[in-house]
Every structure is written in structure tokens, then in C-alpha cells.
Amino acid sequence: MPQNSPIPQITVKELADRLAQADDQLQLIDVREPHEVAIAHIEGFTVLSLSEFEQWSGKISTDFDPHAETLVICHHGMRSAQMCQWLLNNGFTNVKNIIGGIDAYALHVDPTIPHY
């Protein structure tokens, strides 16, 4: 995939629909820092903080299926976009960035999730 291809995206409303389907094939990655996740999180996401990249990057293709649908979230959608690009550059074929991140999810889907 060329570097400049747009990263596929999913809205927070689409994410909520997908989570409601309880799809076991869905891989969910949260790239925020542990202190951010402690404030606000969505059940089912694996936390792979970008600051801990060296700790998880070498085993990502064994811990995750590179061909399964993988949704990535952060606070507003910028760090998750970086992660999506990295995953696509490293052999992942079905990656989507969650537009607006957990902030948009708290605003439009689940108002019980704290804003920060």
C-alpha cells in the first residue's frame, strides 16, 4: 500500500454498532497512554501505548491477526491514524482509524465516559 493512501476510517456511531454485534473477530487497539486510559476507556480494547512502542512492536503480528479487522482509537484520532499507517506499512490489511477518538465516542455515543 502506498504511503499516501488515505487511511480507512470508521465513525464512533459505526464503532458502537460494531461493538453491539459482539464480533469476536474484531481487534480493538487503544494507543493512548495508561494515565489516559485510567480516566476514560471502552471495554474490549487492548492498550498499546505509543510511548511503549518498543515493548509491543516486535510481537504485534503474533499477538494480532494481520488480516482481521483492526480498529484503532486514541483521544482525538491523530495518534490512532499514525498507528493505522504503521500497521498498514507492517503487513496489516484491514485497519480502520476511529474518527474523533474516545472524545467523540463520549460525546456522541456514551456520555458516561469522562471527557479530559
Mind telling me the catalytic residues?
A: 74
The angle that helices 12-20 and 101-108 make with each other, rounded to 10 degrees, is 70
**How many helices and strands in the chain, by DSSP H and E?**
6, 5
Classify strands 70-73 and 9-10 as parallel, antiparallel or unpaired: unpaired
Task: Return the SS3 of 76.
Answer: coil
